[in-house]
Structure 1
Amino acid sequence: MTTPTMNQKIHADSKAMSKWLERMVKSLGNHSDRLNAINIFPVADGDTGSNLYLTARSAHDAVSKLETENIGELLAMASRAAMESARGNSGTLLGVFLAGVAEPLFGVERLTAPVLATALERGKVRAWSALSEPVSGTMLSVLDVVAKTARATNRTSGLEPASKAALVEMLDALCLAAEAAVVATENELGALHKAQIVDAGAVGMLIVLDELRGALLGHIIDPDEYSRLHGYDIQDPHIHDEVSNETGVEVMCTINLDALGAATLRGHLDSIGDSVIMSPVNSTEDGYRWRVHVHVPEADTALDMIRSLGSPVNVTVTDLCTHDG
């Protein structure tokens, strides 16, 4: 990590955040094949990299021509687009994370260390609460460690909280912590430990955070720095091919529900499937517009249940056993 100088130029406005989304798309695209190759959890379907890239691209495309100084407005619009067109577990959680980060940033025109710490905490809370059964050793662990690191750095730093130096200090600390959290995933999940690899979604989140730091500080991220992560070397085979694939389908949709309807649907989906993710996209007159994700043996069982509570749109059904990255 580079130590900031008094004259270091730092970009922390809405244009820098738009640049972050742009860099995120490019970097996830460049790394998608390797992320696909080590994707074995929760399903060895080899598409984590592709899902993150396509979801991030939707987020960036939605705001590429938006002119605003309001960072929260920019990220909220990006997150809605990401959630509406999210791909898979990882893409859905990326969209949810962005939505959480946006919430404390409405009206904010310049990012500071304290504001960033609050935004990362909110992003973590939204991501963890979206899953019915959150699992450590995944991208959630990275978000947890990063939020804690940001809080601790903000609390113990001797620098002026709103200063450029304090922001640089926090960005450096949280990216180092994120990398350590990725390394730790190998020993947090049995499947990863057996395969001797780190979690694909966790690496994806590390890339997202590295590009945040890069966009704000004007740094170029060396793609080779990820090659030391277990299983990530470019010469390694597609490890997910060696792991038994889960049968069944992934069902995703968007639906308007009130609080009772949302709780009812989550309970029903928990009873028939797994990898259940539900998160509000935006408010409506009668409740919220929800993004829904679930893995089930048969699509009709989930779709019939969903349709009994409302009219889903943006419905996708994907065979879990046929993903090829």
Structure 2
Amino acid sequence: MKRWLSKAEVVLGNHSDRLNAINIFPVADGDTGTNLYLTVRAAASALGSGTDPAETGNDVGAVLSRAGQAAMEKARGNSGTLFAVFLCAAAEPLAGKTRLSAPLLAAALNRAQIRAWSALSEPVSGTMLSVLEAAAHAAQAADAAQNGDDSNHALGLALDAAVEAALQAVVRTEGELAPLQAAHVVDAGGVGMLLVLDCLRSAVLGEELQEELLDGLHGYHLQDPHIHEHMPADDGVEVMCTIDLSPLDAAVLRQRLDEMGDSVIMSQVGGASGSDDDDSPMEASYRWRVHVHVPDPEPAVALIRSLGEPTDIAVSQLAVPRDASAGHDD
């Protein structure tokens, strides 16, 4: 698992410019590659040399949970937040397990795709959600075909199937979203998830990454953001924070953010805390990672502060720089 996330950090760093170049959905802000890279880097760093092995031992779920919590706290953008959700959810079926198997891979990917779809207020097909869903279904089918065999051979077949299904789902994204079809590109977040899954396959099986995987993907050869030049500027900002809320307050916040903006993602970070009344689960406090696109940050931040004490508040412009030569001199 540590090798997987370290490999994913390097690969996403190497591919971030190209992912940024084709990033036009949900907004053409050209930062999907950067957001995924920085979020994966946070996950990998949490498992770095300073990690105390006594805290996680050989527990695969504990290792991924630690990485997922770190990713969630530092998640950037839609894609980074969904990757963090993916890690945290995938860790749950792996809790207490000392090795990965085909049945566990299928369970982890299925839990992750369900959680990722539910984290968004308005999930959309033709995105990294579809890619993760396709990978999960393929892993389940491969596991079923092997009758739950937990051998390394069966795991290899399940990983191969998951990556191949993810690739086909990436190809389909272009036809599933009108903005992608008009620009003749595949979804940037979907490609990022494909890379992450291929890194998992490579790390688990001890094989090289499949460099030919990205051959022929529409738009992916571009390393210059000229694709954004003639698109209307995206007004507004992205607001992100972490906050402790009861389930009731979290539901209120999600509803009001939905009314205020779009691309709302709310995902729980860790378990319940701060409740002295076991008979009142709605009073328990949970930590949430919040993400939203709004025209003006002030009302959104005021709303969030009215419900709790947010930390790690980040506000960034959605508009992509229109100078195509900036930062792309070579």
- TM-score between both structures, scaled by the size of structure 2: 0.90
1:109 is paired with a residue whose SS is: coil
Alignment of 1:22 with 2:6, yes or no, is yes
Structure 2 unaligned residues grouped into runs of 5+: 275-283
Alignment of 1:270 with 2:258, yes or no, is yes
Q: 2:149 aligns with which of 152, 161, 175?
A: 161
Q: Give the Cα–Cα distance (whole angstroms) in 1 for the partners of residues 266 and 68 of structure 2.
A: 14
Q: Give the Cα–Cα distance (whole angstroms) in 1 for the partners of residues 22 and 222 of structure 2.
A: 11
Q: Give the Cα–Cα distance (whole angstroms) in 2 for the partners of residues 235 and 321 of structure 1.
A: 19
Q: Give the Cα–Cα distance (whole angstroms) in 2 for the partners of residues 191 and 47 of structure 1.
A: 17
Q: Give the Cα–Cα distance (whole angstroms) in 2 for the partners of residues 20 and 166 of structure 1.
A: 19
Q: Give the Cα–Cα distance (whole angstroms) in 2 for the partners of residues 206 and 322 of structure 1.
A: 24
- Report the AA paired with residue 216 of structure 1: V
1:242 is paired with a residue whose SS is: coil
1:308 is paired with a residue whose SS is: helix
CA contact (8 A) 2:234 2:320 kept: no
Question: What is the Cα-based RMSD across aligned positions, in Å?
Answer: 1.5
CA contact (8 A) 1:40 1:243 kept: no
1:157 Cα offset (Å): 2.5
Q: 1:58 aligns with which of 31, 39, 42?
A: 42
**Greater mean deviation of Cα atoms: 88-97 or 59-68:** 59-68
Q: 1:36 aligns with which of 20, 37, 48?
A: 20
**Residues 1:150 and 1:90: Cα distance change in structure 2 (over 3 Å):** same
1:155 Cα offset (Å): 1.1
Deviations 1:198-252 (A, max 9, x none): 0000000000000000001112214453142000014665423332231000000
CA contact (8 A) 1:153 1:170 kept: yes
- Report the AA paired with residue 168 of structure 1: G
Deviations 1:35-75 (A, max 9, x none): 00000000100000000000000000011133221111111
Q: Give the Cα–Cα distance (whole angstroms) in 2 for the partners of residues 235 and 280 of structure 1.
A: 35
Q: Which runs of 4+ in 1 moved over 3 A?
A: 222-225, 234-238, 322-325
Alignment of 1:213 with 2:201, yes or no, is yes
Q: Give the Cα–Cα distance (whole angstroms) in 2 for the partners of residues 309 and 113 of structure 1.
A: 43
Q: Give the Cα–Cα distance (whole angstroms) in 1 for the partners of residues 225 and 288 of structure 2.
A: 37
**Residues 1:279 and 1:323: Cα distance change in structure 2 (over 3 Å):** farther
CA contact (8 A) 2:239 2:293 kept: yes
CA contact (8 A) 1:38 1:238 kept: no
**Greater mean deviation of Cα atoms: 24-33 or 285-294:** 285-294
Deviations 1:97-147 (A, max 9, x none): 001001111101011000110000011111111000000000000011111
Q: Give the Cα–Cα distance (whole angstroms) in 1 for the partners of residues 190 and 230 of structure 2.
A: 20
Q: Give the Cα–Cα distance (whole angstroms) in 1 for the partners of residues 129 and 270 of structure 2.
A: 22
What is the percentage of aligned positions where both structures have the same residue? 56
- Higher RCO by CA contacts (8 Å cutoff, separation 6 or greater): 1
Alignment of 1:257 with 2:245, yes or no, is yes
Alignment of 1:71-150 (within 5 A): 71-150=60-139
Q: Give the Cα–Cα distance (whole angstroms) in 2 for the partners of residues 128 and 177 of structure 1.
A: 18
CA contact (8 A) 2:17 2:223 kept: no
- Report the AA paired with residue 123 of structure 1: A
Deviations 1:169-214 (A, max 9, x none): 1011110000000000000000001111000000000000000000
1:166 is paired with a residue whose SS is: helix
Q: Give the Cα–Cα distance (whole angstroms) in 1 for the partners of residues 92 and 226 of structure 2.
A: 38
